[in-house]
Structure 1
């Protein structure tokens, strides 16, 4: 990610979500036994000299420190190279480069885990630490696991916006017209879809009833800024109300305050816990050992604590399986702000393509 606060989840439309049936990776089929086996640690050390990822910049939920901790634990040095992408772009990148695989892993919104499975880009490796996760928070046969949860929230430049919005309803007030970052849940990004789902829940709906979310989104469209939202547009006050995960809001707020810019992070009532996940590239047989090692490591105490230090809520902590030291939670917002955050009932039941199509048909009128 070229800038810490740039919105990472881009949107490119429905076409990629609706492309055909699964394409089984030749590399996975050719090396199925090896993929299913435990990683060879010595081989992983050699493979990790250059660790290439997609959508996993060092400053996204603290992946930089997670990779450093893994290197220290297993005794190797590594250069991390990342290309910032949305969830669907990562899946398509794995698929496109299957003849010459480069990426080892990617961070995706949990809604895109089943998409990766259906497209056959992930391998049949289930790491031992995945035993800590229930169904729905890991792939059926391996290849991706949930890592941490973000909460759709808002950050407000209070040097520009004096009357801080406190709820989703507040964003509809005329004084905020053109000041809210644009949202488009039409297909490629987990954050955008999580926002849409949060609005459904906030107004009495659910993953099975998105109509209340669509009704709210239609009302919010006129409030959205015409230009792109970024760290710079927030800093300059051009898009002074931005919607993103809470941990990104916290990181952005810290950076703004260091520059003397006043801001506030708000957790609106009726928002949700939205897990992210890590997937590994089933085509990249040459890097399979470090990929398998990483898929297991992200659920370790060390990695989960590193996510927490950034402000992301580790999935094992959310499940009650991890005690975090106080210092790991020092940068978190007060617990009372999360009193009304909702747990989504059934992530596995959500079809990304259907959700994206519903946005287009019911919100934007496409």
Structure 2
């Protein structure tokens, strides 16, 4: 018998023996995920922490401490990792953040932001103009696909709805809907929380007013006309409103995200009394997004900041501030949200009419508002 036939016969005998014995060849061992160290931190994560600590600083922009509980997030991050945070212009709008990246492309100094938190509609611009770099946080899979860029260039962080924040000590009758704001009793009392030519929050206010006045997610013109009327009757105050202007009665009625209004109510603690109203019509929801600058002076600190914000710990900090974190559904499913936090949130039925515009709709609305504000409304908000 030839060597070839002997070899084939040997193989056949081996296979038959395995079948008779009910055995199959052993599978290759599965690749194991990195084991956490005694501290509970994986080797990859520890490497990122070490690299971030070597950089020593994180530079943020447009993060007021009372916005979505960012004060606690900033304090917690510094305490947890021992990094310093350089906070640029807390009251800047989303457009200002984008411009800050552009203005500091070749500058690694203290005015160059590492990270930004901007309106949802800015996402495509950030990618198209190559202003941000990709990074997928370790909790990436628990962020809904329609709330993130597939390649990791940006991802949703939290959302809320546009509400009225009212100083009840200065306003006799609290307005309940957009149409109420045109009444003579609100003369010189109504303001926006940003410049609609640059601020996503202010733009979404115009968008919401459009929905309440015959417009749609594809037609914001009625929103501009509404603010034109508001300005013509003398009710609109062309200043960027904030907690201090509300408290002093300079802008006793302002439109802003519900979580910011709730934060002001808590911070002021009845001095003055603040009422937060979800309007009866024109209830619009807005998602904000996080991204890392393509020119970040501290890229590892920026990545560590993202890991912190998108961990359960960071998401709960936002929720405590009245925001709905982007991983909210995942955390509810895993039952990791303390009851004392949910007890302080507005009733869910108040949000039943909320609508979520798409990025394309937001971008179209943003262009219409920024192009049309001066022409239609003619109020220089600053």
Conservation of the 8 A alpha-carbon contact between 1:146 and 1:315: yes
- Listed as ranges, the matches of 1:1-366 within 5 Å are 40-47=48-55, 49-70=56-77, 76-83=81-88, 84=90, 85-101=92-108, 102-182=112-192, 186-221=196-231, 222=233, 223-258=235-270, 260-269=271-280, 270-284=282-296, 286-317=297-328, 320-323=329-332, 324-344=337-357, 346-351=358-363, 352-364=366-378
After superposition, the CA RMSD in angstroms is: 2.6
Conservation of the 8 A alpha-carbon contact between 2:194 and 2:201: no
SS of 1:106 mapped into structure 2: strand
Gaps of 5+ in 1: 1-36
Conservation of the 8 A alpha-carbon contact between 1:57 and 1:82: no
SS of 2:149 mapped into structure 1: coil
CA deviation after TM superposition for structure 1 residue 68, in Å: 4.5
Conservation of the 8 A alpha-carbon contact between 1:86 and 1:189: yes
Conservation of the 8 A alpha-carbon contact between 2:158 and 2:324: yes
Name the stretch that deviates more: 186-195 or 291-300.
291-300
Deviations, residues 46-79 of structure 1 (Å, cap 9, x unaligned): 22x322111123332122333454556xx52122
Judged with a 3 Å threshold, the aligned counterparts in structure 2 of structure 1 residues 184 and 58 are, in CA distance, closer, same or farther, namely: closer
SS of 2:97 mapped into structure 1: helix
SS of 1:151 mapped into structure 2: strand
TM-score by length of 1: 0.79
Conservation of the 8 A alpha-carbon contact between 1:69 and 1:302: no
Conservation of the 8 A alpha-carbon contact between 2:193 and 2:256: no
Conservation of the 8 A alpha-carbon contact between 1:139 and 1:145: yes
CA deviation after TM superposition for structure 1 residue 139, in Å: 2.9
Judged with a 3 Å threshold, the aligned counterparts in structure 2 of structure 1 residues 256 and 58 are, in CA distance, closer, same or farther, namely: closer
- The alignment covers a number of residue pairs equal to 322
Judged with a 3 Å threshold, the aligned counterparts in structure 2 of structure 1 residues 360 and 156 are, in CA distance, closer, same or farther, namely: same
Provide the rounded CA distance (Å) in 2 between the counterparts of 1:148 and 1:194: 15
CA deviation after TM superposition for structure 1 residue 204, in Å: 4.3
Conservation of the 8 A alpha-carbon contact between 1:146 and 1:276: yes
Provide the rounded CA distance (Å) in 2 between the counterparts of 1:321 and 1:189: 30
SS of 2:317 mapped into structure 1: helix
TM-score by length of 2: 0.76
CA deviation after TM superposition for structure 1 residue 362, in Å: 4.2
SS of 1:225 mapped into structure 2: strand
Conservation of the 8 A alpha-carbon contact between 2:194 and 2:240: no
Task: Select the structure of larger CA radius of gyration.
Answer: 2
Conservation of the 8 A alpha-carbon contact between 1:310 and 1:331: no
Provide the rounded CA distance (Å) in 2 between the counterparts of 1:252 and 1:86: 19
Judged with a 3 Å threshold, the aligned counterparts in structure 2 of structure 1 residues 251 and 293 are, in CA distance, closer, same or farther, namely: same
Quick one: higher RCO (CA 8 Å, sep 6+), 1 or 2? 1
